[in-house]
Chain A
């Protein structure tokens, strides 16, 4: 391919990357005075972000030649990593909401999770457990119940049951004990679900942050690459 064509492909790729990277601005633009505010929806902007990102990736691939030296390799590596991280975000954007809505009954806004976990722990403490069961609860379960944790898999019925196994023996077999244990199981189940919610939402946020960081680094390095070509 003639050098001038690859050069312009590179310029076009950089422009497309920059345009694509403007996506996070949609949150800021909402605050502008009415006459300056864009009228289209964030969803349209996201579609444009995806399309421009994909176009930029293709243009950059057409622009690239076998890299000579560390900077070229780094740029190519960042390009591929950025594209892969976009794929990861896309996959998580599809999968995480599905898991959250289909597999979890509990759902709290992220800011409320810690409070809810504390409420669950307090409710568990208030259950009428027999002294041996209470001792087992305080020693083994309470510390896990009080602290929000990260979990990447929605809990199954057996997960809560496994956590309660040491208590089940100590609790006794009468109706009151069984009822208390069942209530505790429900509380533990909700706690595990909140952990899963936290973990899955956290995973999505981490993937987004990774993609944003890689994208930022890629644009920065590409700009340096373009400027160095221009000046030297």
Chain B
């Protein structure tokens, strides 16, 4: 018989969150000026960058033993160590594991004083270390913040430690302005995550590890700002592009202007036709937000797939699908209009968004009642929201591909299981801080009162649609609708989106 894990103490979690907020103070300009972090920013741009980031920067002093990051939780912050030391523990803290100080100066960005040390490489696979110590001048947490993957190691202060908190917007500004920092982060990503990322792409699933590693070593990492053009129709296509993060709009040029063909997101590929046929780009690729791209050269990909005809077949299949989509968008303006509507309503980010067909919905509220019945009497959505023609987009979680609500959760209560659609909030660890509710761009996280705290204040809890996780019949709202007005739509299912919106707007 296994002992049941004790339930987390919600009050203790809330106190930890409040303590951590209390530890933070605004960063000082003089201190920032002296940091090697900004050394690789060109002289003229440095002051401008500092002016821009100063209001957003905080420093925090963590007492010895205080937990900074917990393995498995999501974080939107990278940490620069200003003073002290932190201990990084892979797979939890082990009192018997020997701490190993890993310092790789060769990966450090160019800087003037040479005083700080950077951890620039992953430990070799043979290294038995489960704990590492990072000291002043080093950075951690940046890959989790940028990739939106769960934090891969727990980190706590070894001695009293001062940290500079680099939230995602600051991190992006820094990456754009500091070539040295960019190179450092890219190098880390290449060494620690890119191979895993490539292996996760269906196209390369059958390739031997060494081929994937070779591709990863030669890949070029590029970042694009919102609105920036990644590829232009008619330009020579000499590469395969893998979207690492962000949202890309694919558009084809029609006589009356560009038409939206589809959207690409993390894990999607572009450039198959050019790669196989040597043809120019058949469409434009435009970044809709901060987009991170892995660029694989044509020669490298052809070399890698030479061994495996199945990869070539998959490339042909996905290339043909993309060209068919382009043909559809050019032939039928309704399809492009549907794609635009998806973006306007924020549905393009959704893996499974709830839609209600108002032309058949009798407003009986069976969906809301069924939702409440499946969730202890508290419905997880409101049958009210944006209208797209005859469709209602209710206030219900879209289960975003890249859920921003997870980022600012101080207790890691919001998670998405690997491979699952639903983003869930753990009732036992939600402290009701409301960060997720204010972070959701569509207001789809609801705060409900659950009782009274020990200090007499009302205890709130965040709730959101979890697709009735674990319910074998699927979401109760869809099952309970007697008129089949409620449906779930994935932005990836382009055909379903076109069916729903194509001729209905």
Contact = CB atoms under 8 A, between A and B. Distances in A.
B475 to A, nearest CB: 11
Interface stretch (A60-68, A90-98, A133-141): A90-98
B384 interface: yes
Contact of B362 (A27, A30, A93, A112): A93
Nearest to A111: B365
Given A107-B384, A107-B387, A30 B374 contact: yes
Contacts of B360: 97
Contacts of B479: 30, 41-42
Q: Provide the main secondary structure of the chain A interface.
A: helix
B366 A201 contact: no
A46 to B, nearest CB: 4
Contacts of B48: none
A72 to B, nearest CB: 34
A154 B363 CA distance: 16
Contacts of A204: 362
A88 to B, nearest CB: 14
Contacts of B361: 97, 101
B337 to A, nearest CB: 19
A108 interface: yes
B358 A97 contact: yes
A26 interface: yes
B440 to A, nearest CB: 20
Interface string A79-122: 00000000000000100111011100001111010000000000
Contact of A30 (B373, B383, B384): B373
Contacts of A30: 370, 373-374, 476, 479-480
B473 interface: yes
B483 A100 contact: no
B478 interface: yes
A109 B384 contact: yes
Interface string A35-53: 0010101110110000000
A159 to B, nearest CB: 22
Contacts of A46: 482-483
A31 interface: yes
Contacts of B473: 37, 39
A34 interface: yes
Interface of B: 358-363, 365-366, 368-370, 373-374, 382-384, 387, 390, 392, 471-473, 476, 478-485
17 contacts: A26-B482, A27-B370, A27-B480, A30-B370, A39-B472, A41-B480, A41-B484, A42-B480, A43-B483, A97-B358, A97-B361, A97-B363, A97-B483, A101-B390, A108-B384, A112-B384, A201-B362
Top 6 closest pairs, chain A to chain B, by CB:
A101-B358, A46-B482, A42-B482, A43-B484, A101-B359, A30-B373
